[in-house]
């Protein structure tokens, strides 16, 4: 299949979902391999990720040279998911959607946020990844169980991972003859040369160079050798693109300039959040708290996403010039929004698991301690309990939390703006810390869960400008 044949005819895009029978089956490896192999054929590949993950999309982006987008049926409405999919699939030849956890795993009690829910919403067929290590004919039972569990979910093909060799795959192939409607598409062999190292929150990130070009090329070659890509593309849905989706970035009359922390320590952002800020009228100026000595010229607000500040605590702390610049910005009542790792950076200190304590910005009167276990994990629904930079009291939003740290001192001198309901355990807590112009939280909010969030952010910055607050320096 050539790019020319993929792009001929009406506005359509081939698409498929790469799903796992469980976490740890190797669906990220398979998805990255398929992306790399299709791109090596000259196709434009648009990557997507089901669920709230940040790390996998970073690797997708590195392989496809296009930003990966999150699709999530719990955090975001059906309309917003369709819009995001159509908008970005429209300019590609094929879209590859990597699933989350096992195919049917989602929010507790509802299945929302699952790979199956996303595939059904978009009408896109599923390629199931099954870890075949130590399995023979029993693999057919796994495939048949998934294929028949929910008649509304279409499993078009299966790719086996960690296969011992051609004879092992032949055994799997023969076993799957008893599973009608599911096409075996090939396999990936066990290969110790292909491995992305992990740490406490998952894989190493793309920003840390976890994927070399040689590794990506090697994986693409394995897929080309062992997976029937032509058959896969034939099975892929030819999705009609909605011409009503407006991809234009609409600027407000008075655009604002927002500095966005982006480096190895701060790399957890939903790309749609950044797009939403641009549509609301923001110009985004990236900067590195690790490497830069000053904030970008003329910024009127700062956005600190999540990431691994605990891993980079020493260089973050040693960059005294940047810490002073951020602290000075805060002291001048600058607008700052921070999530998870960003909250940690704004704290007074961070204590690592090794016992070292590192001074941070000191914009929030809190101390952060790293722990050996997850402190909060899962979806969260937020209701604003007071007016803040994201909206008026009563505004709702959805997001996700996933962190190994905790605040280790009483919350004095901080107002609380969030009432959070944990979707997993149905617990409520107050959070969303406000001090001066700062709003910080452990929750990663998805701005598409409420389109007013980004608009409110920009309008809040405009209000500060009109009140006479100066920028970092003249633009």
Reported as a single tens digit per residue, the pLDDT across 169-182 is 999 999 999 899 99
Average pLDDT over every residue of 237-243: 75
Spans of all domains in the chain? 3-240, 256-466
How far, in Å, CA of 30 to CA of 198, rounded? Answer: 17
Residue 314 pLDDT greater than 70, yes or no: yes
Given a cut of 90, is residue 330 above it in pLDDT? yes
Q: With both helix axes pointing from N to C terminus, report the angle between 27-40 and 213-226 in degrees, rounded to the nearest 10.
A: 90
CB-CB contact of 389 with 433 (8 Å): no
Query: What is the distance between the alpha carbons of residues 310 and 298, in angstroms, rounded to a whole number?
Result: 29
What's the mean pLDDT in 407-417? 87
**What pLDDT is recorded for position 468?**
72
What pLDDT, on a 0 to 100 scale, did the predictor assign at position 109? 65
pLDDT over 70 percentage in the chain? 88
Cβ atoms of 29 and 249 within 8 Å: the answer is no
> What integer pLDDT is reported at residue 255 of this predicted model?
84
- pLDDT for 374 equals 66
pLDDT at 160: 97
Tokens of 175: 């076993």
CATH of the structural domain 3-240, one choice from 3.40.50.10490, 1.10.260.40, 3.40.1170.60, 3.40.50.300: 3.40.50.300
Mean pLDDT of 208-214: 74
Predicted local confidence at residue 376, as pLDDT? 73
Return the bridge partners of 238, or none. 14
Compare 242 and 365 and report the one with higher pLDDT.
365
What confidence tier does 1 reach under pLDDT thresholds 50, 70, 90?
very low
Helix (H, G, I), strand (E, B) or coil at 150: coil
pLDDT over threshold 70, residue 294 = yes
Distance CA 293, CA 358 (A): 18
* pTM reported for the whole predicted model: 0.90
64 is catalytic: no
Domains 3-240 and 256-466 agree in fold: yes
Question: Which helix H or strand E contains 56, and what residues bound it?
Answer: helix 55-64
Single out the catalytic residue among 50, 176, 267, 340.
340
Q: What is the pLDDT of residue 368?
A: 95
**pLDDT exceeds 60 at position 395:** yes
Neighbour-count burial of 161, counting CB atoms closer than 10 A to its CB (0-12 exposed, 13-18 middle, 19+ buried): buried
Please check the confidence at residue 128 and state whether its pLDDT lies above 70: yes
Amino acid 248: pLDDT: 47
Contact of 262 with 54, CB cutoff 8 Å:
no
Burial of 173 (0-12, 13-18, 19+ CB in 10 A): middle
Strand partners, 15: 95, 237
Task: Check whether 117 has a pLDDT greater than 90.
Answer: yes
Mean per-residue pLDDT, 51-58: 92
How much is the pLDDT for 290?
Answer: 98
68-92 pLDDT tens trace? 999 999 999 999 999 999 999 999 9
* pLDDT at residue 443, as a whole number: 96
- Smallest CA-to-CA distance from 259 within 291, 290, 309, 294 is with 294
Higher pLDDT: 406 or 428? It is 406
Query: 367, 349 in Cβ contact below 8 A?
Result: yes
Residue-level pLDDT at 472: 58
Model pLDDT, residue 210: 65
Q: From CA 438, how far away is CA 363, in angstroms rounded?
A: 8
Least confident of 42-46, 261-265, 320-324, 370-374: 370-374
For residue 239, what pLDDT band results from cuts at 50, 70 and 90?
confident
- Contacting residues for 217 by C-beta, under 8 A, at least 6 apart: 36, 40
Asked if pLDDT for residue 424 goes beyond 90, the answer is no
Among residues 232, 273, 275, which one has the least CA distance to residue 398?
A: 273
pLDDT category of residue 133 using cuts at 50, 70 and 90? very high
Rounded to the nearest integer, the mean pLDDT of the chain is 89
- % residues pLDDT > 90 (the chain): 75
CATH of domain 256-466: 3.40.50.880
Q: Is the pLDDT of residue 244 over 70?
A: no
pLDDT tens-digit map of 227-237: 999 999 999 98
pLDDT at 163: 96
Question: CA-based diameter of the chain, in Å?
Answer: 74
Say if CB 99 and CB 20 are below 8 A apart. Answer: yes
54-63, 180-189, 357-366, 466-475: range with lowest mean pLDDT: 466-475
Over residues 264-293, the mean pLDDT reads 96
């Amino acid at each position: 299949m050539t790019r020319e044949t993929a792009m001929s005819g009406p506005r359509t895009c081939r698409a498929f979902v790469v799903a796992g029978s469980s976490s740890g089956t190797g669906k990220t490896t398979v998805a990255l391999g398929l992306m790399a192999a299709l791109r090596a054929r000259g196709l434009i590949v648009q990557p997507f990720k089901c669920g709230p993950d940040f790390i996998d999309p970073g690797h997708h982006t590195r392989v496809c040279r296009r930003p990966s987008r999150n699709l999530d049926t719990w955090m975001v409405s059906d309309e917003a998911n369709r819009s995001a999919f159509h908008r970005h699939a429209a300019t590609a030849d094929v879209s590859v959607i990597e699933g989350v956890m096992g195919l049917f795993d989602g929010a507790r009690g509802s299945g929302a946020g699952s790979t199956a829910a996303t595939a059904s919403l978009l009408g896109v067929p599923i390629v199931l990844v099954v870890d075949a290590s130590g399995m023979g004919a029993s693999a057919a039972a796994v495939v048949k169980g998934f294929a028949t569990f929910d008649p509304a979910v279409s499993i078009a093909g299966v790719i086996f991972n960690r296969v011992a060799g051609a004879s092992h795959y032949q055994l799997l192939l023969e076993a799957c003859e008893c599973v009608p409607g599911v096409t075996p598409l090939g396999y990936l062999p066990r290969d110790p040369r292909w491995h992305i190292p992990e740490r406490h929150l998952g894989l190493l990130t793309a920003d840390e160079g976890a994927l070399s070009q040689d590794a990506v090329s090697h994986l693409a070659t394995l897929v080309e050798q062992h997976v029937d890509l032509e058959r896969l593309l034939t099975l892929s849905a030819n999705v009609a693109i909605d011409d009503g989706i407006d991809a234009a970035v609409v600027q407000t009359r008075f655009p604002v300039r927002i500095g966005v922390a982006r480096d190895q320590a701060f790399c957890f952002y939903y790309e749609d959040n950044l797009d939403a800020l641009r549509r609301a009228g923001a110009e985004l100026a990236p900067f590195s708290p690790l490497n830069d000595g000053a904030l970008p010229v003329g910024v009127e607000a700062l956005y600190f996403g999540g990431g691994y500040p605990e891993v980079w605590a020493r260089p973050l702390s040693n960059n005294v010039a940047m810490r002073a610049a951020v602290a000075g910005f805060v002291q001048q009542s600058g607008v700052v929004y921070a999530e998870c790792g960003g909250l940690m950076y704004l704290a007074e200190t961070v204590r690592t698991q090794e016992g070292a304590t590192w001074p941070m910005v000191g914009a929030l009167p809190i101390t952060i301690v790293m722990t050996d276990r997850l402190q909060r994990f899962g979806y969260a629904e937020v209701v604003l309990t007071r007016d803040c930079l994201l909206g008026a009291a009563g505004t709702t939003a959805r997001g996700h939390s996933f962190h190994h740290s905790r605040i280790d001192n009483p919350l004095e001198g901080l107002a609380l703006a969030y009432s959070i309901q944990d979707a997993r355990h149905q617990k409520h807590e107050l959070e969303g810390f406000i001090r001066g112009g700062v709003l910080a939280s452990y929750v990663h909010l998805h701005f598409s869960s409420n389109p007013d969030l980004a608009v409110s952010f920009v309008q809040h910055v405009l209000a500060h400008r009109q009140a006479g607050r100066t920028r970092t320096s003249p633009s």
